[in-house]
Amino acid sequence: MVVISDPKAEILARLKNSGQPIVARKTFNNFRSVFSSLPLHNTDFFRKLFKEAGCHIYNQDNDFTYANSGLLMIHTKEGGTKTIYLKNQKIISFEMPVNSTWLINTKTGDILLK
């Protein structure tokens, strides 16, 4: 098992039983790097890492969300009420059916395609 031994790395996660470090972050001159010796599967952990890196989080649910060129695509497997947090501080909520994909304008929050 690969474990982290760099004393300059910030430890983010350890193995439950042994306490050995398995996820760490290290800051360099122009970037920050995250290393994990095991696959990361926890979306809350990913969301926290992305937020700390300065990424905007549009969707707090575990729906597929992709933003580019002023458009936001959201695909939901389970459907239900979706709350989207736009970069301009506007918050929009709507009901999506199960297994659906919508396209949204990231500036206005208008739903462009259902």
Q: Is residue 28 part of a domain?
A: yes
| Confidence check: pLDDT of 19 > 90 | yes
Containing domain of residue 73, as a range?
Answer: 64-113
Is 18 contained in some domain? yes
CB atoms within 10 A of CB 105: 13
Domain count, the chain: 2
Residue 81 maps to a domain: yes
Q: List the Cα angle 93/48/58 in 5-degree steps.
A: 25
pLDDT band at 42 (very low <50, low <70, confident <90, very high): confident
Residue by residue, DSSP assigns the chain as: ------TTSEEEEE-TTT--EEEEEEE-SS-EEEEESS----HHHHHHHHHHTT----BSSSSEEEEETTEEEEEESS-EEEEEE-TTS-EEEEEE-TTEEEEEETTT--EEE-
Q: How confident is the model at residue 54, as a pLDDT? A: 85
pLDDT in tens, 53-83: 889 999 999 999 999 999 999 999 999 999 9
Q: Let me know if residue 49 belongs to a domain.
A: no
- Cβ atoms of 73 and 101 closer than 8 Å: yes
**pLDDT class of 40 with cuts at 50, 70, 90:** confident
Asked, for residue 73, whether it belongs to a domain, the answer is yes
- Report the pLDDT value the prediction gives residue 3, as an integer from 0 to 100: 87
The verdict on residue 102 lying in a domain is yes
Percent over 70 (pLDDT), the chain: 100
